[in-house]
Structure 1
Amino acid sequence: METVMRFGFLPSTFALIGLALQTVSAQVSDSSETRARAASEISQGVARMEASRQEIVAKNLTLNASEAEAFWPVYREYRFEVGGLQDRNTKLILDYAEVYQAMDAAAAKPLLKEWFSIRKDELKIKDKYRPKLEKVLPADKVLRFFQIDNRLDLAAKMKLAEQVPLVE
């Protein structure tokens, strides 16, 4: 039986991120204060997302007591490491918002390089934790975990993409 995952946390979280992007993009002149405020708003949204994310994983990954005892410390370690990528992604979004209206090839190149670097590092982290998870869970549950994790990532990326304007 397929489990339907609910992402109730996404709309409000990404509304905050969208507001932060608009703030940075519209007020480039007061750059450091505006950037700090936008970064804070994004961080608050990400923190709410993380709390909801663990709840969604718990509801959609059926674990017995011994599996849960072994899984959750590895999960928290994994999400802590992914958090570093979220920090880099936040910085990338803020950097993009600052140059969006005057985007040219010179401004785009470092943004593009960092975007690819983050995506590569994301896959490296997942690959690093796959064997760790396989030590504490059977392979079918590890697969289900990564399916859930991937759906959450895709939903978050899609909502974020709706907030970030395309380069003209």
Structure 2
Amino acid sequence: MKKILLVTIISLLAAPLSMLHAQDDIQKVQEAWGKDKKELVRIGMDLSSADSAKFWPLYDKYETERRKISREWILALGDYADNYTSMTNAKADELINKLFKVDAGISKLLQQYYGKVKSALNAMQAAKFVHIESYINTTIRSKMQESLPLIGEKMKTL
């Protein structure tokens, strides 16, 4: 399953960050990715019909909230990509604090929905949900960050 997840994630991340500045573009990417992501979660969760009826309404609410938070992360990375060659201390501080805020928001949201899924199903299924979400989010972030130059790289070219 990890190979399927990785191939799907990488193919969805082919668009450069510079294309993701407009809210409409971000929404289109999130909607397209959301459909594929939901299928990956469905495969990973492997729920019975009874459990599916309880899980998917929770997942849909989680995903709506996660997208709002993730939009800020995408915008911050796009802002970084636009500014890395002229990065100032103030801009670096602003961007990193945005990313900290987003990370805290995602972590808090995942913790809230762990509790909701645990109440609706059980701790094992809730843990599986968190594991799948964490794997997908980590893979996405890793691939996106690989496409960004390090701040210090601008110094090497001077």
Is TM-score (shorter-chain normalized) higher than 0.5? yes
Tell me what 2:95 maps to: 111
Structure-2 separation of matches of 1:124 and 1:68: 24
Relative distance call for 1:47 and 1:165 in structure 2 (3 A) is farther
Tell me what 2:39 maps to: 55
Aligned residues: 151
Please, which runs of 5 or more residues in structure 2 have no aligned partner? 153-158
TM-score (norm 1): 0.81
TM-score (norm 2): 0.86
Structure-2 separation of matches of 1:136 and 1:120: 24
Q: Tell whether 2:68 aligns with 1:79.
A: no
Identity percentage over the alignment?
Answer: 23
Alpha-carbon displacement from aligned partner over 1:17-67 (angstroms, at most 9, x marks no partner): 34527xxxxxxxxxxxxx43xx54444333222111110111111211111
Give the partner amino acid of 1:16.
Answer: A
Tell me what 1:31 maps to: none
Other structure's SS at 1:122 match: helix
After alignment, is 47-56 or 114-123 more displaced? 47-56
Tell me what 1:163 maps to: 147
Structure-1 separation of matches of 2:17 and 2:116: 36
C-alpha contact (below 8 Å) 1:16/1:41 kept by paired residues: no
Structure-1 separation of matches of 2:9 and 2:29: 9
Please, which runs of 5 or more residues in structure 1 have no aligned partner? 22-34
Relative distance call for 1:153 and 1:100 in structure 2 (3 A) is same
Question: Offset at 1:125?
Answer: 0.5
